[in-house]
């Protein structure tokens, strides 16, 4: 697939940086980050070299699931500020040449949302069908066997009206009914509210969940489930996710975004490649610009596995689609915790040199690793409901360490979650002063990507490599770049494509050295190739 032109939309050429607002910067001394804090730290984001910011939810919320339970889709929670503070932040983001994406949560609202309060007030309320209500099963009990993604039945009985309501996540997060045209119109109006305000797009939470199969049949039982796995996976979510009707909704969202010009939609979608690719839509009826691709998170850090995963995913992208990649998020274990700091440097090279749009999670640029969360500091409802099986998300949401002052410069008060244990030395200021730091590596890679379109929109091809080495070429016109990553702890031969020689080393995860035909342990290289004489 040819992608040689630099005249491409920003969401293809650019890099997205996710900010978890509670944990970026506190401006008012309550130990929780806020919009003014983000504004105060924008220069860090701008000098990093990314192109867009994605904010996790900042809407009014009781915070049962830390903002993913929305009580008002057109406001700002007082914890974070107000609409004026948002407008100031948006202006400051745009003044630095950056874009801003909000996190839209269409599958469910908070049970405190006025819509749900009205819906549950009576079976006859006009907004009853804005949520999914059903009578008990024959003989009593939940209407079907669906299981919440946080464990336990996905149904909650409402004594006042005698029916159950559906909640894919917490019972405080009732699912919205997108089959109701009035609900659908209200949610589209909420998106329009933020587009009118100037936001550059949305990351759309659990998009593949938003429509359920008619009749709500039982999901198939998963024969491979056993205790110790996520309780959600006791059933296969055949009828509760990825329904055909959801694509028309995604297409309508895309049409709305496109009506505002240069906007972008990123859809959270966990599906196999063939089903995942459908969320690009069709050329004449496109859906989300970037169906989020989590395969670098979900698969082992192994050269052969990654080569297969990357090749299969790249091949699955339709001609009108565009790939994307992510290693970390507010939900996933940190990459440095998974594979160690030395290999996390290679992960930075991989993320920023694959064909497609990368998303970088705050703190990964300084290599934050494992953060121990004492039992009395656990805040994540998923960990509280299913403790001890590795589902906790607090470890990824810890505050950003800025310097070695009290509370790492994040707040004047005790932060809402613990800092990384090495915050006094692993912080932005310390890494600013260290030319060999992870921060400087990310900045150099992002600058190289920005200066060289081959790394952002050039063609991609895996190349044959030694055991434990992942290697691929990026090409644009006569330019040939080789990325070679030694994912192992032993030296490995560096194989060049036939007829090629190294013209220049553009970047390395280790101190630059003369290329000698070998890759050192933990070494990743970006090389410019030329034809041999």
Which of 200, 205, 242, 383 is catalytic? The answer is 205
Burial of residue 140 (number of CB atoms within 10 Å: 0-12, 13-18, 19+)? exposed
Distant-in-sequence, close-in-space partners of 233: CB < 8 Å, separation ≥ 6: 222, 225
Q: Is 258 a catalytic residue?
A: no
Determine what percent of the chain falls in helix, strand and coil, rounding each to the nearest 5: 30, 20, 50
- What residues have CB less than 8 Å from 207, skipping those under 6 apart? 106, 107, 246, 250, 267, 268, 269, 279, 288, 291
Distant-in-sequence, close-in-space partners of 382: CB < 8 Å, separation ≥ 6: 150, 391, 392, 393
From the list 65, 69, 268, 380, the catalytic residue is 268
Cβ contact 417:394 at 8 Å:
yes
Q: What angle do CA 466, 472, 476 make, to 5 degrees?
A: 150
Determine the Cα–Cα distance for residues 212 and 340; give it in Å rounded to an integer. Answer: 40
Q: Give per-residue burial for 279-297: e unless 16+ CB within 10 Å, then b.
A: bbbeeeebbbbbbbbbbbb
Query: For the chain, what is the radius of gyration of the CA atoms?
Result: 24
CB 172 within 8 A of CB 65: yes
Nearest to 309 by CA among 319, 296, 321: 296
Give Cβ neighbours of residue 429 (< 8 Å, ≥ 6 apart): 402, 403, 404, 409
Q: Rounded to an integer, what distance in angstroms lies between the CA atom of residue 464 and that of residue 35?
A: 47
Distance CA 482, CA 502 (A): 9
Cβ atoms of 459 and 475 closer than 8 Å: yes
Reduce the DSSP state of residue 399 to 3 states and report it: coil
Active site residue 314: no
Which among 360, 366, 288, 361 is positioned nearest to 330, based on CA atoms?
361
The secondary structure element, H or E, covering residue 373 is none
| Contact in structure between 290 and 266 (CB atoms under 8 Å) | yes
User: What DSSP assignment string belongs to 142-155?
Assistant: -SS--B-TTSSBSE
Length of the chain: 533
Residues marked as catalytic:
205, 268
């Amino acid at each position: 697939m040819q992608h040689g032109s630099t005249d491409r939309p920003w969401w293809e050429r650019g890099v997205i940086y996710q900010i978890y607002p509670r944990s970026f910067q506190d401006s008012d001394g309550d130990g929780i980050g806020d919009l003014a804090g983000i504004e105060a730290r924008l220069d860090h984001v701008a000098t990093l070299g990314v192109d867009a910011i994605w904010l996790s939810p900042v809407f009014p919320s009781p915070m049962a699931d830390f903002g993913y339970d929305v009580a008002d889709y057109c406001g700002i929670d007082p914890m974070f500020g107000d609409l004026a503070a948002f407008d100031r932040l948006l202006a400051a983001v745009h003044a630095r040449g950056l874009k801003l994406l909000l996190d839209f949560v269409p599958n469910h609202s908070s049970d405190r949302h006025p819509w749900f309060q009205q819906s549950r007030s009576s079976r006859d309320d006009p907004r009853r069908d804005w949520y999914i209500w059903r009578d008990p099963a024959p003989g009593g009990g939940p209407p079907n066997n669906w299981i919440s993604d946080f464990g336990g039945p996905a149904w909650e009985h409402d004594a006042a009206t005698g029916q159950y309501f559906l909640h894919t996540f917490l019972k405080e997060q009732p699912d919205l009914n997108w089959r109701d045209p009035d609900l659908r119109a209200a949610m589209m109006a909420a998106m329009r509210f933020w587009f009118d305000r100037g936001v550059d797009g949305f990351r759309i939470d659990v998009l593949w969940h938003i429509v359920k199969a008619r009749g709500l049949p039982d999901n198939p039982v998963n024969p491979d489930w056993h205790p110790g796995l996520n309780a959600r996976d006791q059933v296969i979510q055949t009828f509760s996710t990825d329904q055909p009707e959801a694509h028309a909704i995604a297409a309508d969202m895309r049409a709305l975004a496109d009506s505002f010009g240069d906007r972008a939609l990123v859809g959270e979608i966990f599906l196999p490649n063939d089903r995942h690719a459908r969320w690009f839509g069709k050329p004449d009826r496109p859906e989300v610009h970037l169906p989020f691709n989590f395969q670098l998170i979900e698969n082992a850090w192994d050269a052969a596995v990654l080569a297969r995963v990357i090749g299969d995913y790249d091949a699955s992208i339709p001609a009108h689609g565009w790939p994307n990649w992510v290693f970390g998020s507010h939900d996933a274990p940190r990459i440095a915790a998974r594979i160690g700091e030395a290999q996390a440097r290679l992960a930075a090279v991989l993320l920023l040199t694959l064909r497609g749009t990368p998303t970088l999670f705050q703190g990964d640029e300084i290599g934050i690793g494992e953060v121990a969360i004492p039992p009395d500091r656990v805040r994540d409802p998923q960990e509280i409901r299913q403790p001890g099986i590795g589902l906790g998300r607090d470890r990824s949401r810890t505050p950003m360490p800025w310097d070695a002052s009290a509370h790492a410069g994040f707040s004047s008060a005790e932060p809402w979650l613990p800092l990384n244990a090495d915050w006094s030395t692993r912080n932005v200021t310390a890494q600013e002063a260290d030319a060999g730091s992870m921060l400087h590596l990310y900045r150099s890679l992002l600058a190289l990507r920005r200066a060289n379109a081959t790394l952002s929109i050039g063609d991609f091809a895996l190349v044959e490599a030694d055991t434990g080495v992942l290697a691929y070429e990026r090409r644009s016109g006569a330019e040939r770049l080789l990325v070679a990553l030694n994912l192992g702890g032993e030296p490995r031969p560096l194989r060049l494509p036939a007829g090629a020689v190294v013209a220049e080393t553009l970047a390395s995860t280790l101190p630059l050295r003369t290329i000698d035909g070998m890759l050192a342990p933990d070494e990743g290289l970006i090389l410019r190739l030329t034809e041999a004489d």
